[in-house]
């Protein structure tokens, strides 16, 4: 039986999850895949931790040089994260002709061109299913399962931390800061939650996924990004009243106008399949010209879900003699002939505080009309002594038109803007 040796770099949550799956399922893979996958080496700064988690002492390496000079190691799994040591070690492994499996979205998003060039030059494989949406097999689906299609759109909840926070705010009535604290207590959010709550994590993933879906490089800088830290309980409750649920949506679209990629808090109708994706779960909803709609749902993070994606890549690499490379174009910048849409179209939710007196609505509708913004519905949700809260849902319109109108609201002298959010119409 073919024997394949694996080295795991980084023995944190994901490295350990990968190790456990490989150990526990070794016989299953022997039986079903006809391959014996053995962990030959673990590189972990805290050696005692690796040993206490069951790694034999003689398998704990002291340096990347020791790992890549080990002839029994065929596949190097990178679970370190970030773009410091991880980038250096992955490049060293590829240069040594070792196949690399990584869960590192930032590394793949920013350096895929460099990694892929090294992999091809040294006839090594490069696989990164675990970099996007943890255990949900979205990359294999894009590369293999729906490759017959021209993918026109992709909408996803691809960050579990923010989905947990928004779910607590929606269903439990929690404030943003209480929901964030709870996410930190449960280990979803980091002590510094910026990468998740400001949408960076989702933007890395969207850059990778839309590059694969649309067969061109979609650099991070082209992804419009807005996080959830400014979302208020008022917005969530007003949206709910109108039949919407707020999600941090990653949206990728491809049309004759170009590619549109954005991550922003977005209202979706409560009947939409993505509306019921709650807590820390993730989902991606793809539309292809032949297949129609396809939705994948599951855990986007965690030891075993992310380990599942890593081990699936290991098995793929171990059972295929030819390396399969992604469809990333091999350069850092966007292709010259790839058009990106910046003035994208969307429906909008706009919450205003207005003076509660006659003539106010006329002034606001006149301003919207002047900017070609058509209103679908408008409700007054609260009134104080002489103030009221007005919530407006628009038809699909241009982002720039909304920005222009919002910038001029103060000039009406009767209203101020509290929030502007996108709506999937
Ligand atoms: N922090 C991410 C999330 C998981 O909350 O979904 C890793 O990308």
Give mean pLDDT, residues 120-141.
96
* pLDDT at residue 330 greater than cutoff 90: no
State the distance from the centre of ligand 1 to the C-alpha of 265, rounded, in angstroms.
16
> If we measure between CA atoms, which residue out of 349, 164, 395 comes closest to residue 243?
349
pLDDT band at 342 (very low <50, low <70, confident <90, very high): confident
> If we measure between CA atoms, which residue out of 152, 158, 132, 176 comes closest to residue 247?
158
Q: Whose CA is nearest to atom 2 of ligand 1?
A: 159
State the distance from the centre of ligand 1 to the C-alpha of 105, rounded, in angstroms.
10
pLDDT band at 419 (very low <50, low <70, confident <90, very high): very high
pLDDT in tens, 193-226: 999 999 999 999 999 999 999 998 899 999 999 9
Q: Is 240 a catalytic residue?
A: no
Task: State the closest ligand 1 atom to the C-alpha of 162, by its place in the atom list counted from 1.
Answer: 5
State the distance from the centre of ligand 1 to the C-alpha of 284, rounded, in angstroms.
14
pLDDT in tens, 147-168: 999 999 999 999 999 999 999 9
Give mean pLDDT, residues 112-141.
95
pLDDT band at 334 (very low <50, low <70, confident <90, very high): low
Q: Whose CA is nearest to atom 4 of ligand 1?
A: 301
Report pLDDT for 332.
Answer: 60
Percent of the chain with pLDDT over 70: 98
Give mean pLDDT, residues 352-381.
93
Give the mean pLDDT of the chain. Answer: 94
* pLDDT at residue 331 greater than cutoff 60: no
- pTM, entire model: 0.94
- What's the angle, vertex CA 365, arms to CA 359 and CA 370, rounded to 5? 125
* pLDDT at residue 328 greater than cutoff 70: no
pLDDT band at 327 (very low <50, low <70, confident <90, very high): low
pLDDT in tens, 240-254: 999 999 999 999 999
State the distance from the centre of ligand 1 to the C-alpha of 196, rounded, in angstroms.
7
The CA–CA distances, whole Å, from 282 to 180, 216, 298, 397 equal 18, 24, 6, 28
Ligand 1 mutation pick, 107, 157, 158, 161, max ligand atoms within 8 A of CB: 161
Euclidean distance between CA atoms 385 and 201, whole angstroms: 43
pLDDT in tens, 60-107: 999 999 999 999 999 999 999 999 999 999 999 999 999 999 999 999
Cβ neighbours of residue 213 under 8 Å, at least 6 residues apart?
142, 151, 154, 252, 254, 286
- Show the tokens assigned to 180: 């964030």
Is residue 294 a contact partner of residue 141, using CB atoms and an 8 Å limit? yes
DSSP code of 133? S
- Show the tokens assigned to 343: 């003035």
Catalytic residue of the set 205, 247, 253, 329: 205
Q: Which residues have C-beta atoms less than 6 Å from ligand 1?
A: 105, 159-161, 188, 196, 201, 300-301
């Amino acid at each position: 039986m073919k024997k394949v040796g694996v080295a795991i770099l980084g023995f944190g949550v994901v490295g350990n999850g990968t190790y456990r799956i490989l150990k526990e399922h070794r016989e299953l893979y022997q039986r079903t895949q006809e391959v014996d996958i053995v962990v030959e080496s673990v590189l972990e700064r805290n050696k005692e931790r690796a040993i206490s988690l069951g790694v034999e002492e003689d398998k704990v390496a002291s340096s990347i040089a020791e790992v890549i000079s080990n002839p029994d190691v065929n596949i190097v799994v990178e679970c370190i994260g970030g773009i410091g040591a991880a980038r250096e070690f992955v490049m060293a492994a590829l240069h040594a002709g070792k196949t690399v499996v990584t869960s590192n979205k930032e590394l793949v998003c920013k350096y895929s061109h460099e990694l892929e060039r090294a992999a091809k030059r040294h006839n090594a494989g490069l696989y990164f299913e675990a970099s996007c949406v943890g255990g949900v097999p979205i990359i294999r689906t894009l590369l293999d399962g729906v490759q017959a299609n021209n993918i026109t759109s992709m909408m996803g909840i691809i960050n579990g931390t923010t989905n947990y926070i928004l779910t607590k705010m929606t269903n439990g009535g929690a404030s943003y800061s209480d929901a964030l604290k709870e996410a930190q207590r449960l280990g979803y959010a980091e002590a510094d939650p910026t990468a998740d709550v400001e949408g960076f994590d989702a933007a890395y993933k969207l850059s990778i996924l839309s590059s694969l879906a649309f067969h061109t490089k979609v650099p991070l800088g082209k992804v419009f990004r807005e996080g959830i830290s400014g979302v208020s309980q008022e917005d969530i409750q007003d949206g709910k009243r109108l039949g919407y649920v707020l999600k941090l949506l990653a949206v990728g679209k491809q049309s004759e106008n170009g590619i549109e990629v954005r991550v922003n808090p977005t209202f979706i109708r409560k009947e939409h399949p993505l509306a019921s994706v709650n807590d820390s779960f993730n989902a991606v909803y793809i539309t292809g010209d032949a297949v129609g709609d396809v939705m994948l749902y599951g855990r986007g993070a965690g030891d075993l879900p992310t380990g599942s994606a890593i081990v699936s890549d290991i098995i793929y690499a171990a059972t295929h003699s030819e390396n399969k490379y992604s469809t990333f174009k091999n350069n850092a910048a966007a292709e010259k002939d790839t058009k990106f849409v910046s003035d994208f179209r969307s429906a909008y939710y706009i919450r205003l505080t207005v003076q509660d007196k006659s003539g106010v609505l006329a002034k606001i509708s006149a301003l919207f009309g002047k900017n070609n913004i058509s209103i679908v519905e408008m409700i007054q949700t609260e009134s104080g002594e002489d103030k009221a809260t007005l919530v407006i849902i628009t038809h699909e319109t241009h982002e720039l038109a909304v920005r222009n109108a919002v910038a001029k609201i103060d000039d009406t002298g009767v209203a101020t803007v509290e929030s502007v959010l996108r709506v999937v119409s």
